[in-house]
Amino acid sequence: MPAATRKASPPSRRSRRNTAARGPRDAAASAEGATSGKGWPPSALSLTDQAYRQIEELICTLQLPPGTLLSEFMLAERLGIGRTPIREALQRLALDGLVVVIPRRGILVSEINLHTQLRLLEMRRVVERLLARLAAERATAAERAAFADIAAKMRRAADQSDDIAFMRHDRSFNHLIAAASRNDFAIRSINLMAALSRRFWYQHYQEVADLPVAATLHAEVAEAVARREAAAAETASDRLMDYIESFTRKTIDR
């Protein structure tokens, strides 16, 4: 459903061979690095990237709810990270639409707007379908193994009713499918929508959605990509977006 990113160049033949030799966890890690501009695991990330990931999760899981006034000092104390990386992370989050800068007042966590979410889904449906097809066609062997691994983890998180784990796997899935598409423009587009969509889902899923259904639909996209079945990946993506749109409309009708 996982930010503005630096331009990711298609891998060389040599890097493709190296990627193919790594396991699924390494491939997923490399994908997250490719779409954030940095490496993985978190210990290898810059302080700004670590701050970004942690603040994004706090916002998406509503630990920092809409309307919360943020300060660099408060976040630095909470996360144990210096104020300069916090400031840079907040600038990225503003580009993502998760925070807004209000002159003479400060930085606020943005509000959640149902009708804006529907407009976002119009664009997201097209981009997600494209990403699914391209990833199925272009993913390396290691990336395909990583898709299968993420699908299994999503199903396991649903079985355990672990919404935080599911959201983290969803973020990894978003990074991986974007990187595997090898299309910079699609990557930029999805990065502007992914975090807003995760937060919206987390706010409402217990009321109008079913975690196992969401996990299954995501897993089916990942599994189709892992099998290199482009048409099946597009169909699975459409089913996922049908569910998400229905879920969004139910929140409006409540």
Q: What are the structural domains of the chain?
A: 18-36+113-253 (1.20.120.530), 42-109 (1.10.10.10)
CA distance 233 to 134: 9
3-state SS record for 193-235: CHHHHHHHHHHHHHHHCCHHHHHHHHHHHHHHHHCCCHHHHHH
Given a cut of 60, whether residue 4 has pLDDT beyond it is: no
Per-residue pLDDT band at 3 (split at 50, 70, 90): very low
Write down the pLDDT at residue 32. 55
Mean pLDDT of 58-87: 95
pLDDT tens string 188-237: 999 889 889 989 988 888 777 688 999 999 999 999 999 999 999 999 99
For residue 147, pLDDT over 50 is answered with: yes
pLDDT digits (tens, 9 = 90+) for 148-201: 999 999 999 999 999 999 999 999 999 999 999 999 999 999 988 988 998 998
What tens digit of pLDDT does each residue of 91-143 get?
A: 999 999 999 999 888 899 999 988 889 899 999 999 999 999 999 999 999 99
Handedness of CA 207, 209, 210, 215 (dihedral sign): negative
The pTM of this model reads 0.76
For residue 116, the model assigns a pLDDT of: 86
